[in-house]
Amino acid sequence: MLTLGIIKPDAVAAGKAGKVFAHLEKAGFTVRAARMTRLSQGQAEAFYEVHRGRPFYDSLVAFMTSGPCIPMALECDDAVAYLRQVIGATDPAQAEPGTIRKLFAESKERNAIHASDSPENAAREVAFFFAESELKGLWG
């Protein structure tokens, strides 16, 4: 099963991307696709459309366009739920020891990594960043 993770601009700027990749691989994920990109305003607004109207939407879009990020298609059994476990709580102060956010996040807003929250969103989010040809044979 595939899911999407995004190493966010805070972790990229702090030089933590390699450590995040290593943590994910050690946890058993296979990186099937990844690229460094800088989201445009329109891309960030489209990606986070589900949050439009919420108090944090504008600041989230601004943050995600503030620097490069690294979207990744990650594969393992029960990838969506397992990635959520591996990254930890949104607020790093509440995240379990050894989770990505406990280790690498700065704050609740600058929390190092995004992870899909459902299999349906994972499919939509992976497709947002990666063409089917880049993932050919991985969904079967």
Rg (the chain; Cα; Å): 14
Residues 6+ positions from 24 with CB-CB distance below 8 Å: 5, 31, 72, 74, 83, 86, 100
Active site residue 114: yes
**Could you tell me if 126 and 73 are in contact, meaning their C-beta atoms sit under 8 angstroms apart?**
yes
Q: Which of 114, 116, 125, 126 is catalytic?
A: 114
DSSP structure string for 60-109? HHHHHTSS-BEEEEEESTTHHHHHHHHH--SSTTTSPTTSHHHHH--SSS
Query: What six digits make up the tokens of 3?
Result: 């899911």
Q: Would you please indicate which residues are annotated as catalytic (active-site) residues?
A: 114
